[in-house]
A and B are shown apart, each in its own frame.
Chain A
Amino acid sequence: MMIRKIGTAAGLLVSALFSHAASAAYQLNLTTGATKLSQEVYDLHNLMMWIIVVIFAAVFGVMFWSVYAHRKSVGHKADQFHENTTVEILWTVVPVLILMVMAWPATKTLLAVRDTSSPELTIKATGYQWKWGYDYLKGEGEGISFTAQLTTPRDQIYGMAPKGENYLLETDNHVVVPVGKKVRILTTAADVIHAWYVPALAVKQDAVPGFVRDTAFKAEREGIYRGQCAELCGKEHGFMPIVVEVVSQEKYIAWVNEQKKKMAAAAEDPNKKWDLAELKARGEKVYAGNCVACHQANGKGIPGNFPALDGSKIVNGPIAAQIDIILNGKPPTAMQAFGKQLSDTDIAAVIAYSRNSWGNKMGDMVQPADIKAARK
């Protein structure tokens, strides 16, 4: 009985360990990556590991020889020596020399990593709680602007659906860049500190609110490279991935043209009059993309942390106050100034949705033109 239980437990364990054998499981070292610099970092790390293995073998070889040979139980009598100047100087100087050997390649690589000069494309990455905003500032594709957020369905996260191949590492929009071109990433943030981290590109740069930092990479191989926010930024820190798609120059130009077309099409007539049903339907999507993490799908929020919208005084009060808080946020809380991220239409839509959903039955709405008027 007991044995069978242990057998079952062991079986579960083994299946847990090997069930994902198809993915890149049991990766034991840094990624060699898609840039020359990530290869250099990989080599530097390997060099260090070999030096460490040698020191390890020397130090613990001596220690374990003592443990084996100088035991009381085999009758070894203790010597009473307790200093030896030569040896002590030696083991101070030799490590210094080893460190200098290590410092040389580290310095060279660091200077290369930090060289962000003369980029062919400059992209600004802005951290928001909890998504990334991208603006193509300079180079081919200048003017393109979009946000990228997690597309993994909640059902997968909560175990109600099998997890997909790119679980938690998939976004609605990819950062598309051309292969073989130096790309400079400027990082900043709107609320708290985030970090833009893509292992295969050997890039990790904190995004600090109110400041602009930079980093750069030059991808040698086409492909999709995935990373995550690496600085604790609140509740959904684990759920704001980064997906960089490296494509050929031709594909990149095609993508740029497509984006430009999309942006032109998306530039809606600001004076269009919407009716409530239309606006509410659009608002539901905006809500799901921007508000649901804190205020929850049922509008009840998370008591103590994030206020409920269902029955909220602001949502059920004068509409101007609601416009104000959405446009300007409520520092220092996690309620951001969405005026910078959402279009007039999107803000009008989410207002219409929140005032006419759950238990809220205000029946009123604003037009995108009103939002435009309120932005000043």
Chain B
Amino acid sequence: MSAVIDSHGTSHGHDDHHDHGAPAGLMRWVTTTNHKDIGSMYLWFSFVMFLVGGVMALTIRAELFQPGLQIVRPEFFNTMTTYHGLIMVFGAIMPAFVGFANYLIPLMIGAPDMAFPRMNNWSFWLLPPAAILLIGSFFAPGGAAGVGWTMYAPLTSQMGPGMDLTIFAVHILGMSSIMGSINIVTTILNMRCPGMTLMKMPMFVWTWLITAYLLIATMPVLAGAVTMTLTDRHFGTSFFNAAGGGDPVLYQHIFWFFGHPEVYIIAIPAFGVVSQVIPAFSRKPLFGYASMVYATSSIAILSFIVWAHHMYTVGMPVAGQLYYMYATMLIAVPTGVKVFNWVATMWKGSLSFETPMLFALGFLFLFTLGGFTGLVLSMTPVDVQLHDTYYVVAHFHYVMVAGALFSAFAGVYYWLPKWTGRMYDETLGKWHFWLSIIFFNVTFFVQHFLGLAGMPRRIPDYHTQFTEFNVISSIGAFGFGLSQLLFLYIVLKALRSGEKAADKQWDGADTLEWTHLPTPMPYHTFENPPTIK
């Protein structure tokens, strides 16, 4: 047990704190250092950004509903694809899982709060300015940057001041992520309650420990890449400018050295949520806990050595292509182990299918499909055909939306009763799940066919042979988008008039927040750490 908890536990009596509720008013949220408040703010922020990014996605799908240019100009279309990606990755999915981490890690390891509560406040409050910069770039002269979320040089050199605002936004988001990660690592390593050894931690905590290291290692790399872009734009450097002795492809190497681990930064916490939800609704412990920890760590390590599989067509030596192909295929092994473990967890369980479990199973099914297409794409000769087509778009939306987003929904439905003390409407929750999974597949499954037939991504207009699947995809996208408003309604309804939730709402749940804390939780929890046998 750590010294931090010792001093806190003894110097403040248990009773001193119990009458401390949350302070009232707006300043509560500005000044709060409480991990629950900060977790809630992260989750709400990410939902707002999810809607903003979603509107951009629907703009794209509306333009692509029919061939020809109907709604937006091509340069605006490019900004939509760019900021849809940036906002969904950095504004919606990542903050959502950081929100889960803030709210749940202290509860799951029996700690009173995060290790650095003020830094925690600061890491959240960096996000709104970054979001303002991102969205503000649309109002800069020349509009926002139409360069794709990957921001490849030297196209970035041709953009207006909107590009600079975006670069600063990325800097700020990176700072926020690094601070959040340091906080998470310190909390997990130092503030576990007595008896909570590393190999007894809930899987969700393990996944965040690994993710936090990935973030600390890669966010500075991204910051470096965009800073070089900035100096190339304004200060006469030539990192990515061949005319000055630089190399445009260097940018891609640096970006994807960040970018590939980033995929796992998003996916690994999602694995963590699912690893809590599936055992709870199978009423059976997670199968192969230790191998799950090792598999997750292997995925994290492998993620650093496969980056150039995003660049098979850039013109690297054939030996490089072979190496990246083999290394990429290798990732299928630990990923397979995880999928097998989840299925084995369900095997001979006692399964029930409340909304969190439905979303977790939706995750398992569709994420695995995304994994299969990933395997197809790992094959260099096939990837050369499919690179930068809609096949890749479909692949990463299976991993990011059906993977990460569905897992986040599973998490929200699972923990909402604990967080708010109120139950959501189970019938509406199931509606949300079925609408989401059906419309998701309507939107993205057909995009595999578009890619196989050769439709490039990031084009505002297309040949008429692609019309049919684009029509289907656009209809699905609008259905999917509208279904998410139902989610907002479900959460608000639960907050206003949901039934009171039980202390242990799910009978299969076995982590500390369910077994040791009342529902609703007091504002401060585990001021005296519990002891685990």
Which positions in A face B, CB cutoff 8 Å? 13, 16-20, 23-31, 37-38, 40-41, 44-45, 48-49, 52, 55-56, 59-60, 62-63, 66-67, 70-73, 76-84, 87-88, 91-92, 95-96, 99, 102-103, 106-107, 109-111, 113-114, 156-159, 163, 166-169, 187, 191-193, 195, 197, 199, 202-206, 208-211, 213-214, 227-239, 302, 304-305, 331-334
Supposing A157-B69, A334-B158 touch, asked if A239 and B347 sit within 8 A by C-beta, the answer is: no
Q: Are B343 and A111 in contact (CB under 8 A)?
A: no
Q: Which of B291, B340, B385 has the most CB of A within 10 A?
A: B385
Q: Are A82 and B247 in contact (CB under 8 A)?
A: no
Which of B5-13, B15-23, B37-45, B139-147 lies at the binding interface? Answer: B139-147
Number of interface residues of B (CB under 8 A): 100
Q: Which of B160, B389, B461 has the most CB of A within 10 A?
A: B461
**CB-based nearest B residue for A60:** B365
The interface residues of chain B lying within 8 Å CB-to-CB of A76 are 348-351
Supposing A63-B346, A110-B321, A231-B388 touch, asked if A27 and B74 sit within 8 A by C-beta, the answer is: no
**CB-based nearest A residue for B286:** A82
Does B337 make an interface contact (CB < 8 A)? Answer: yes
Q: Are A168 and B461 in contact (CB under 8 A)?
A: yes
Supposing A95-B332, A102-B379, A204-B387 touch, asked if A331 and B465 sit within 8 A by C-beta, the answer is: no
The interface residues of chain A lying within 8 Å CB-to-CB of B496 are none
Q: Are A232 and B147 in contact (CB under 8 A)?
A: yes
Q: Are A211 and B247 in contact (CB under 8 A)?
A: yes
A110 and B317 CA atoms in complex are apart in Å by 11
Does B427 make an interface contact (CB < 8 A)? Answer: no
Q: Are B69 and A158 in contact (CB under 8 A)?
A: yes
Q: Are A195 and B340 in contact (CB under 8 A)?
A: no
A62 and B382 CA atoms in complex are apart in Å by 30
Q: Are B454 and A210 in contact (CB under 8 A)?
A: no
Q: Are A304 and B141 in contact (CB under 8 A)?
A: yes
The interface residues of chain B lying within 8 Å CB-to-CB of A79 are 284, 348-349
Q: Are B376 and A48 in contact (CB under 8 A)?
A: yes
A99 and B461 CA atoms in complex are apart in Å by 38
Q: Are B333 and A82 in contact (CB under 8 A)?
A: no
The interface residues of chain A lying within 8 Å CB-to-CB of B291 are 83, 88
A359 and B196 CA atoms in complex are apart in Å by 79
A111 and B418 CA atoms in complex are apart in Å by 56
Q: Are B325 and A103 in contact (CB under 8 A)?
A: yes
The interface residues of chain A lying within 8 Å CB-to-CB of B384 are 41, 113, 202-204
Q: Are A80 and B465 in contact (CB under 8 A)?
A: no
Q: Are B322 and A110 in contact (CB under 8 A)?
A: yes
A-B contact pairs, 29 of them (CB 8 A): A20-B465, A31-B453, A59-B339, A59-B343, A60-B368, A62-B347, A70-B349, A70-B350, A79-B349, A82-B286, A83-B290, A95-B332, A107-B325, A110-B318, A110-B325, A166-B463, A191-B158, A192-B158, A195-B313, A206-B314, A209-B248, A211-B315, A230-B313, A230-B388, A234-B155, A236-B74, A237-B74, A238-B458, A332-B157
Does B128 make an interface contact (CB < 8 A)? Answer: no
Q: Are A72 and B288 in contact (CB under 8 A)?
A: no
Closest chain-A Cβ to B85's Cβ sits at a distance in Å of: 11
Supposing A17-B471, A103-B325, A235-B75 touch, asked if A70 and B351 sit within 8 A by C-beta, the answer is: yes
Q: Are A80 and B285 in contact (CB under 8 A)?
A: yes
Q: Are B155 and A211 in contact (CB under 8 A)?
A: no
For residues 323 through 366 of chain B, which have their beta carbon under 8 Å from a beta carbon of chain A?
325-326, 329-330, 332-333, 336-337, 339-340, 343-353, 361, 364-365
A371 and B352 CA atoms in complex are apart in Å by 80
**CB-based nearest B residue for A241:** B463
Q: Are A20 and B351 in contact (CB under 8 A)?
A: no
Q: Are A91 and B314 in contact (CB under 8 A)?
A: no
Main secondary structure of the interface of B (DSSP, over half): helix
Supposing A26-B449, A83-B287, A91-B337 touch, asked if A197 and B456 sit within 8 A by C-beta, the answer is: yes
A334 and B142 CA atoms in complex are apart in Å by 13
For residues 245 through 278 of chain B, which have their beta carbon under 8 Å from a beta carbon of chain A?
247-249
Supposing A167-B463, A227-B454 touch, asked if A71 and B352 sit within 8 A by C-beta, the answer is: yes
Select one of B157, B283, B464 contacting A72, CB under 8 A. Answer: B283
Q: Are A62 and B343 in contact (CB under 8 A)?
A: yes
Supposing A67-B346, A236-B74 touch, asked if A78 and B313 sit within 8 A by C-beta, the answer is: no
Closest chain-B Cβ to A200's Cβ sits at a distance in Å of: 8
Supposing A210-B248, A211-B249 touch, asked if A199 and B454 sit within 8 A by C-beta, the answer is: yes
Please name 12 further chain A to chain B contacts, defined as beta carbons within 8 Å, in addition to the given A16-B66, A60-B365, A234-B155, sorted by A numbering: A16-B467, A25-B468, A28-B449, A30-B452, A76-B351, A80-B285, A158-B68, A159-B69, A237-B74, A237-B458, A238-B456, A304-B141
Supposing A66-B351, A82-B287 touch, asked if A114 and B346 sit within 8 A by C-beta, the answer is: no
Q: Are B283 and A195 in contact (CB under 8 A)?
A: no
Q: Are A78 and B147 in contact (CB under 8 A)?
A: no
**CB-based nearest A residue for B454:** A199
Q: Are A228 and B283 in contact (CB under 8 A)?
A: no
A232 and B392 CA atoms in complex are apart in Å by 14
Select one of B152, B158, B242, B467 contacting A333, CB under 8 A. Answer: B158
A80 and B283 CA atoms in complex are apart in Å by 9
Q: Which of B78, B379, B381, B459 has the most CB of A within 10 A?
A: B381
Supposing A26-B469, A63-B343, A230-B389 touch, asked if A82 and B381 sit within 8 A by C-beta, the answer is: no
Does B166 make an interface contact (CB < 8 A)? Answer: no
The interface residues of chain B lying within 8 Å CB-to-CB of A113 are 380-381, 384
Q: Which of A49, A60, A83 has the most CB of B within 10 A?
A: A83
A19 and B66 CA atoms in complex are apart in Å by 11
A78 and B285 CA atoms in complex are apart in Å by 10
A312 and B315 CA atoms in complex are apart in Å by 41
A67 and B282 CA atoms in complex are apart in Å by 10
Q: Are A27 and B329 in contact (CB under 8 A)?
A: no
Q: Are B288 and A78 in contact (CB under 8 A)?
A: no
**CB-based nearest B residue for A91:** B340
Q: Are B152 and A232 in contact (CB under 8 A)?
A: yes
A92 and B286 CA atoms in complex are apart in Å by 18
Does B519 make an interface contact (CB < 8 A)? Answer: no
Select one of B289, B313, B329 contacting A204, CB under 8 A. Answer: B313
Closest chain-A Cβ to B6's Cβ sits at a distance in Å of: 33
**CB-based nearest B residue for A79:** B348
A308 and B463 CA atoms in complex are apart in Å by 31
The interface residues of chain A lying within 8 Å CB-to-CB of B243 are 210, 331
Q: Are B318 and A213 in contact (CB under 8 A)?
A: no
A100 and B48 CA atoms in complex are apart in Å by 45
A187 and B314 CA atoms in complex are apart in Å by 11
A207 and B109 CA atoms in complex are apart in Å by 52
Q: Are A67 and B351 in contact (CB under 8 A)?
A: yes
Closest chain-A Cβ to B202's Cβ sits at a distance in Å of: 14
Q: Are B70 and A78 in contact (CB under 8 A)?
A: no
The 6 closest A-B pairs by CB, nearest first: A210-B242, A238-B459, A213-B315, A332-B157, A304-B142, A199-B454
The interface residues of chain B lying within 8 Å CB-to-CB of A238 are 74, 456, 458-462
